[in-house]
A and B are shown apart, each in its own frame.
Chain A
Amino acid sequence: MRSTRELGLAKPFATRAAQPGHHYLRVSVEFPDGGVRLNAAHFKQLIVSALKELHGEVGAALPVDVLTYDEKTLSAILRVSSSGFVKLWSALTLLGSYQNRKCAFRVVQTSPFLLALSGNSRELVLD
């Protein structure tokens, strides 16, 4: 068996990342009056306009990535820098309309780890 020294492991090497650089949100948008079709670019534009409405031009410049987008359910996974997380969530929550149509964002799940969004035990249904 290789010795600890050969492996370069005096003890298991550990590093701790106190603050992950990004936050991830699983969101969906609802249009109560229905009949709205948005592609990914429109969806991104919707988010940018939400940020602009609440946080102004500087807010609108916040880099937000739409990692996945489902046109049928109008749901997506967003990525934002940790320092912009509160701004983004507040802007989405307070968005009431888009192009004169009433709408509401639902933030289904958030995490600083993208991996955590793929396993939500609250969606496990046993009946």
Chain B
Amino acid sequence: MSAPLRRLRETPRHLLVCERSHVRHERSRHAARVRGHAYNCRVSFLIPECGVLPEPLKSVTTDMGEYYLVKNLPLHELVAQEFISAFVKTGSCYALTYNTRIDQDNTAALLPTGKLILSVDKDTYEELGLQGRPSRYSGKKVMRYSADGSTLMSYFSKHQIQAHQPKITFSTLRNLQCPVLCSNELQGKPEESCSAQELFEWLGAVFSNVELDNKSFSFVSTYCCPEPSTMMDQAYLCTITGFILPEKIIQLLDQLCAYFDEPKLAQWVTLTVHGFADSPVSWRENEHGFQKGGENLYNFVVFRSLDYWLQMAVGANDDCPP
């Protein structure tokens, strides 16, 4: 095949890493993975065969915590001694520039470890005169924060600060075709269970309202629910959108695991977390970029036995997830 034709068939590298382990296993890294992913804009969970959300889950969901938008904040305020003592040293302050694009604009992010990450263009870098390194993949900004509420509101009272609540939506899906999964078979087994990749695609179809009882010979679309599958009468879907802290996600994950403390019809539940497309980091301090997409997301599938699958997906301008 000639070089131009070959290039027509090429796509940028993307990665989907799938792990499996057990929630109570001493070497399970599920909590570390969640904590390592600092900037989360959307969290969803799906519980098959569930019509009403149990009370403990409901209370965790409605208590996701506020986040704050501070407009026209000079970046040097984040390195002021007073700010560092009041918020950074407590170890639970996260900040990210709002409405900046990682592939076009200067972006800043404050990690709970106290590290300030700046992703700047060439001119800004030369003006700043700081030591840095070029991005592996090629300000006075509006910042988004999450930290202790009342003290932040009073600390930034001279700037325009607004508190926001995460937006929460609940829905019950009826007659949902769900893939059959086996916790030991990450790759699936023909005629017996579906693979983790098929599950990942199916979950995307559910969230995007794709028709699952489609026939593969249809002119419009050949996509169907992966087989083998079962029909669920109902499934509970909850979505939380905002600036969500890893600590809250861990509480949610713990409650989803506790869902199986009593016998349930569901064989598994899922928890999906989307990161910010324009965050300068994905997991820990791994550089994150935006080539044709800024995806950095992960998904848990927790089984009745508390075995789990963890799928982490990143785009072309990203380091491999841990």
Q: Which size class do B's interface residues fall under?
A: 35 or more
Residue contact B293 to A19, C-beta cutoff 8 Å: no
Residue contact A121 to B278, C-beta cutoff 8 Å: yes
Residue of B nearest to A9 (CB): B21
Residue contact B11 to A121, C-beta cutoff 8 Å: no
Residue contact A121 to B17, C-beta cutoff 8 Å: no
Within 8 A of B (CB), among A51-98: 63, 65-69, 77, 79, 82-87
A-B contact count (CB 8 A): 165
Within 8 A of A (CB), among B244-258: none
Q: Could you say which residues of chain B place their CB within 8 Å of the CB of A65?
A: 220-223
CB distance from A65 to the nearest CB of B (A): 4
Cα–Cα, bound, A126→B16 (Å): 31
Given A66-B221, A109-B293, A15-B272 contact (CB < 8 Å): no
Cα–Cα, bound, A15→B41 (Å): 26
Interface of A is mostly: mixed
Q: Could you say which residues of chain B place their CB within 8 Å of the CB of A19?
A: 11, 13-14
CB distance from B56 to the nearest CB of A (A): 24
Residue contact B11 to A12, C-beta cutoff 8 Å: no
Cα–Cα, bound, A67→B18 (Å): 25
Given A67-B221, A121-B278, A115-B207 contact (CB < 8 Å): yes
Q: Which size class do A's interface residues fall under?
A: 35 or more
Interface centre among A13, A112, A122 (most CB of B within 10 A): A112
Residue contact A122 to B277, C-beta cutoff 8 Å: yes
Interface string of A87-119 (1 = CB under 8 A from B): 100000000000000000000011111111111
Q: Could you say which residues of chain A place their CB within 8 Å of the CB of B164?
A: 126
Residue contact A113 to B16, C-beta cutoff 8 Å: yes
Residue contact A121 to B186, C-beta cutoff 8 Å: no
B interface residues, Cβ below 8 angstroms from A: 7-11, 13-22, 24-29, 41-42, 44, 69, 98, 101, 144, 162, 164, 184, 186-187, 196-197, 200-201, 203-205, 207-211, 219-223, 241-242, 272, 274-278, 292-295, 297, 299, 307, 313, 315, 320
Q: Supply 15 further A-B pairs (C-beta < 8 A) apart from A17-B18, A116-B295, A118-B44.
A: A1-B24, A1-B26, A12-B29, A15-B187, A16-B16, A17-B15, A17-B16, A63-B222, A65-B220, A69-B220, A77-B208, A114-B204, A115-B203, A119-B272, A120-B277
User: What would 17 A/B residue contacts be, using CB atoms closer than 8 Å?
Assistant: A4-B27, A7-B22, A13-B186, A14-B17, A41-B219, A43-B220, A44-B219, A67-B205, A68-B208, A77-B210, A109-B293, A113-B297, A114-B208, A119-B42, A119-B207, A121-B276, A122-B101
